[in-house]
Amino acid sequence: MTEFEDLRLAVYRSFARTGRAPSAEDLAATTEADIGTVRAGLAELARTRHVALDEAGRIVMAHPFSAVPLGFAVMGRRTLWWGGCAWDSFALPQLLREEGEVLVSTRCPACSRPHAWNVGADGPPDGDQVAHFLVPVTRMWDDVVRTCGHQRLFCSTECVDAWCHQTGSTRGYVMDLPTLWRLAAHWYDGRLDRGYRRREPEAAKEYLRGVGLSGLFWGL
């Protein structure tokens, strides 16, 4: 358990409740800590990959929550969240079970065609679209905002190839919607609970294999 568990919980629960990132002042009031302690705690949470901060120390991401738009919107019963990426957008209804199904919407990065799915915890949504992940797992935290911004949903593999040609990118990993749903289903289990622990590398690999992923892209 992190030394700053109260702070971590305050960040995640604020995102879950409001759809936005709490400020340092918000967190100081919630945790009854001074601003200096909060800022030091956020820096430690960023170091241990529980949150991502911008250069000013503001929260940008606390996966699967995002404070910035990266291509997805997720609409619950009363709350709108930015979906940080395809993975995180599909994970939100898994983490927020009381929401039931949520509406995940985006545009194909290649042709701008709009897409939307009702995504819940009972099974993957229907659709022939595919998810494309550009950055391999060993490099995902080099620039996590860029990584998440390039985990997108496309109309088809043809649109993936067109986007790669348009942007000069090397094709990464492509998966169908059921695989994406399985990847998201339990990856973030426990993040809203006290005592959450990140998976150790071998446990993470076992999880990835279990949802049907393989190859060097995933470190497998």
- Confidence band of 91 (pLDDT split at 50, 70, 90): very high
Domain end: 42, 62, 82, which one? 62
Q: Mapping DSSP to helix (H, G, I), strand (E, B) and coil, where does residue 133 land?
A: strand
At 128 the pLDDT is 97
CATH number of the domain enclosing 58 = 1.10.10
111 and 205 co-located in one domain: yes
The answer to whether residue 67 is domain-embedded is no
95 and 202 co-located in one domain: yes
CATH number of the domain enclosing 166 = 3.30.450.410
Domain count across the chain? 2
164 and 184 co-located in one domain: yes
Q: State the average pLDDT for the chain.
A: 96
What is the rounded distance in angstroms from the CA atom of residue 32 to the CA atom of residue 101?
35
The answer to whether residue 19 is domain-embedded is yes
pTM, to two decimals = 0.95
Closest CA to 107 of 155, 69, 67, 66: 155
The answer to whether residue 47 is domain-embedded is yes
Q: Which residues pair with 153 in a beta bridge?
A: 131
At 141 the pLDDT is 95
199 and 119 co-located in one domain: yes
28 and 89 co-located in one domain: no
What one-letter code names the amino acid at 217?
A: F
Domain that holds residue 53: 5-62
User: pLDDT tens across 40-78, in order?
Assistant: 999 999 999 999 999 999 999 999 999 999 999 999 999
The answer to whether residue 178 is domain-embedded is yes
174 and 84 co-located in one domain: yes
- Confidence band of 3 (pLDDT split at 50, 70, 90): confident
Indicate if the pLDDT at residue 1 is higher than 80. no
109 and 54 co-located in one domain: no
User: pLDDT tens across 96-129, in order?
Assistant: 999 999 999 999 999 999 999 999 999 999 999 9
